[in-house]
């Protein structure tokens, strides 16, 4: 068999296995790369070279940046804005706002960056509104494909066709000239998705959808009887408590008021200094009138937003959070005495309450008796501390964490600690990508490095943030593009098609080039497809005596129409897991969009850029 025949056979088998959907997609992708080597089509360096490709590195770095935005609550904030703008009931308004947002972002930072940034936002929205993620994630990606035609920076293909126009002597395309065709593409895409998306998309969720933690704090404080009567009082400079030993603070002279904890003003963690200072906080429990009288007498200040004594806002905010832990069998804590307000051994967490299916726990929680509560297996404790302290100290075999504080914070704390730095890093990355000062992979790596160096995420967290399935899948499939180019298979297909339609007129040429580009674009990267088709299209236009400009723009539109398979683009793969999609789900919505892109590419483009 010839190299072309080997390549065609490998592609056919890979497509069948993808459609069959019985083997993991990563396994099929790796088999494809190894088959290209085993057949002699590629060397081992070429077959595995995709894993070192800049595009793969860029995608991996985007996962870290996206996770940084999620960890700091930026995505939760964006999700709240989308929900507020769209309303909880309007599917159409939510889809329209989402598609407008992703298309504008795509025009600046490319499809991969925009989808990676907004993917966790849409997952949070799906959980919060109890919608199937499959109804939201594919529209996100397909709208991003349309949005890539709004500006020169939307996709590398736009840069390629602009440079090809300059090389052909007809001039390149302006930065926003693509919008002349991009706006109709986006409008039609949005209309098709809003009108027919619900019927054409599956009703499904990803296997790893997170729980909804939007009301987590409220649930905890209600369950532990802390929903009201909890106040955080700041120590003023004139307070007699300034300089007092923390151990000497006694509220017994104020009946009806209980001191829960003393917190450091800077960190909101338990006080580590021996003496109370200005700016520190007293966490107290009692009725509102008693707390107000105590604050006035001792020169303490209520936090403005928490004068109502709602435990949810006082105990759970940007600085600190709550965690529920269970005492497992054989825990080293069994038999130890604890009481509400007690600081844990680490000195970073406060025990707010303990629960057991008996009455004595409730009594002990209400009053910090001298004996405390002797822990038993199955008891649950409510802990409070800074988010960082919760992340660090709950990785302890003596307790089982009911809900990960990290997952809770990502959903429930908009614009938390580090949010400002994360936004600045994102904007800096956007600026680097928009200006092209450095390659995209470098911009992504710089942004990911800044996320780690700023303390937003640790190196270990960054490792966990990378979607390795997507990274391996993209890296393993890239050699397929190399094989098609190197063996001449792609060029042979293109030349035959051009010869077939070349004498039928320029419209037929555009139609033929669209079909070829769109078909190849479902199997190999659209950038590689464009590199193959562009020179053939320019040569055909020159031979026919027409301007190459409409041919080049039509090719760019066709390359963006990568809708029919999950392997068509990295972003199609990104949403496959979170959306719970099968290989065959893509063409159902993708086919109507492909037809719309065909109409625009073949009939609208020549009206704007004349032959």
Nearest to 226 by CA among 329, 169, 342, 309: 309
Residue with tokens 């609550």: 73
What is the full DSSP assignment across 543-588?
HHT--HHHHHHHHHHHHH---S-TTSSHHHHHTHHHHT--GGGHHH
Taking residues 388-394, report their average pLDDT: 85
- pLDDT band of residue 502 (cuts 50, 70, 90) is low
What is residue 324's predicted lDDT score, i.e. its pLDDT? Answer: 92
Nearest to 194 by CA among 86, 89, 95: 95
Domains assigned to the chain: 3-209+466-608 (no CATH), 216-315 (3.30.70.1450), 320-412 (3.30.70)
Q: Which of 119-133, 145-159, 204-218, 343-357 has the lowest mean pLDDT?
A: 204-218
Q: With contact defined as beta carbons under 8 Å apart, do 204 and 576 qualify?
A: no
Are β-strands 257-263 and 300-302 bridged in parallel, bridged antiparallel, or unpaired?
Answer: unpaired
Compute CA distances 409 → 78, 155, 382, 387, 428, whole Å. 14, 34, 16, 8, 25
Q: With contact defined as beta carbons under 8 Å apart, do 557 and 601 qualify?
A: yes
pTM, whole model, 2 decimals? 0.71
What is residue 229's predicted lDDT score, i.e. its pLDDT? Answer: 77
What is residue 160's predicted lDDT score, i.e. its pLDDT? Answer: 83
Q: Which of 61-65, 183-187, 400-404, 533-537 has the lowest mean pLDDT?
A: 533-537
Q: With contact defined as beta carbons under 8 Å apart, do 440 and 433 qualify?
A: yes
CA–CA dist 417, 71 (Å, integer): 9
Residue 124 has pLDDT above 60, yes or no: yes
Stronger pLDDT, 262 or 503, i.e. the higher one: 262
DSSP for residue 602 = I
CA–CA dist 87, 98 (Å, integer): 13
Q: With contact defined as beta carbons under 8 Å apart, do 175 and 149 qualify?
A: no
What backbone torsions phi and psi does residue 400 show, to the nearest 5 degrees?
-110, 125
Percentages helix, strand, coil for the chain (3-state, rounded to 5) are 60, 10, 30
CA–CA dist 141, 568 (Å, integer): 12
- pLDDT band of residue 307 (cuts 50, 70, 90) is very low
Q: With contact defined as beta carbons under 8 Å apart, do 28 and 18 qualify?
A: yes
**Percent of the chain, pLDDT > 70?**
92
Beta bridge partners of 245: 275
Nearest to 447 by CA among 460, 419, 420, 428: 428
Residue with tokens 């904030």: 77
DSSP for residue 40 = T
CA–CA dist 382, 260 (Å, integer): 13
Beta bridge partners of 282: 233, 262
- Report the residue count for the chain: 611
CA–CA dist 49, 194 (Å, integer): 40
- pLDDT band of residue 549 (cuts 50, 70, 90) is very high
Residue with tokens 């078909």: 519
């Amino acid at each position: 068999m010839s190299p072309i025949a080997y390549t065609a056979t490998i592609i056919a088998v890979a497509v069948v296995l993808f459609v069959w959907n019985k083997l993991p997609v990563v396994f099929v992708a790796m088999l494809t790369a190894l088959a290209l080597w085993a057949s002699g089509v590629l060397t081992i360096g070429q077959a595995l070279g995709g894993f070192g490709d800049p595009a793969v590195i860029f995608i991996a770095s985007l996962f870290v940046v996206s996770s940084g935005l999620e960890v700091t609550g930026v995505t939760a904030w964006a999700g709240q804005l989308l929900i507020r703008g769209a309303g909880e009931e309007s599917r159409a308004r939510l889809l329209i706002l989402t598609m407008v947002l992703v298309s504008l972002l795509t025009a600046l930072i490319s499809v991969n960056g925009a989808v990676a940034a907004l993917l966790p936002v849409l997952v949070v929205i799906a959980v919060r509104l109890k919608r199937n993620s499959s109804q939201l994630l594919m529209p996100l990606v397909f709208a991003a494909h349309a949005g890539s035609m709004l500006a020169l920076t939307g996709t590398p293909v736009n840069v390629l066709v602009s440079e090809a126009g300059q090389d052909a002597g007809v001039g390149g395309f302006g930065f926003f000239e693509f919008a002349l065709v991009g706006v109709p593409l986006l409008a039609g895409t949005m209309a098709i998705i809003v009108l027919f998306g619900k019927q054409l998309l599956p009703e499904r969720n990803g296997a790893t959808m997170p729980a909804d933690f939007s009301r987590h704090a409220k649930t905890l404080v209600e369950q532990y009887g802390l929903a009201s009567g909890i106040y955080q009082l700041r120590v003023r400079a004139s307070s007699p408590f300034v300089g007092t030993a923390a151990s000497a603070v006694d509220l017994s002279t104020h009946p009806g008021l209980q001191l829960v904890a003393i917190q450091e003003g800077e960190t909101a963690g338990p006080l580590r200094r021996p003496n109370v200072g200005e700016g520190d906080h007293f966490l107290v429990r009692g009725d509102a009138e008693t707390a107000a009288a105590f604050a006035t007498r001792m020169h303490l200040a209520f936090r403005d937003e928490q004068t109502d004594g709602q435990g949810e806002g006082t105990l759970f905010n940007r600085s600190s959070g709550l965690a529920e832990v269970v005492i497992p069998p054989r825990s080293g804590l069994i038999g130890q005495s604890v009481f509400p307000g007690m600081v844990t051994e680490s000195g970073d967490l406060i025990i707010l309450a303990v629960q057991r299916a008996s009455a004595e726990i409730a009594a002990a929680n209400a009053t910090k008796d001298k004996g405390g509560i002797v822990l038993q297996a199955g008891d649950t404790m409510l802990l409070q501390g800074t988010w960082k302290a919760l992340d660090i100290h709950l990785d302890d075999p003596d307790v089982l964490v009911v809900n990960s504080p990290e997952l809770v914070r990502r959903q429930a704390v908009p614009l938390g600690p580090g949010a400002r730095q994360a936004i600045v890093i994102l904007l800096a990355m956007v600026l680097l990508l928009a200006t092209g000062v450095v390659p995209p992979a470098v911009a992504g790596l710089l942004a990911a490095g800044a996320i780690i160096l700023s303390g937003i995420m640790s190196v270990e967290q960054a490792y966990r943030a990378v979607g390795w399935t997507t990274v391996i899948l993209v890296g393993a499939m890239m050699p397929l593009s190399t094989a098609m180019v190197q063996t001449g298979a792609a060029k042979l297909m293109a030349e035959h098609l051009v010869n077939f339609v070349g004498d039928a007129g320029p419209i037929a040429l555009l139609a033929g080039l669209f079909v070829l580009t769109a078909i190849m674009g479902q199997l190999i990267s659209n950038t590689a497809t464009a590199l193959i088709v562009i020179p053939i299209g320019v040569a055909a236009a020159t031979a026919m005596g027409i301007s190459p400009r409409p041919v080049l723009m039509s090719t760019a539109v066709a390359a963006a129409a990568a809708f029919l398979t999950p392997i068509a683009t990295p972003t199609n793969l990104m949403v496959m897991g979170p959306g719970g999609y099968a290989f065959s789900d893509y063409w159902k919505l993708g086919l109507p969009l492909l037809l719309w892109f065909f109409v625009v590419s073949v009939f609208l483009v020549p009206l704007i850029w004349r032959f």
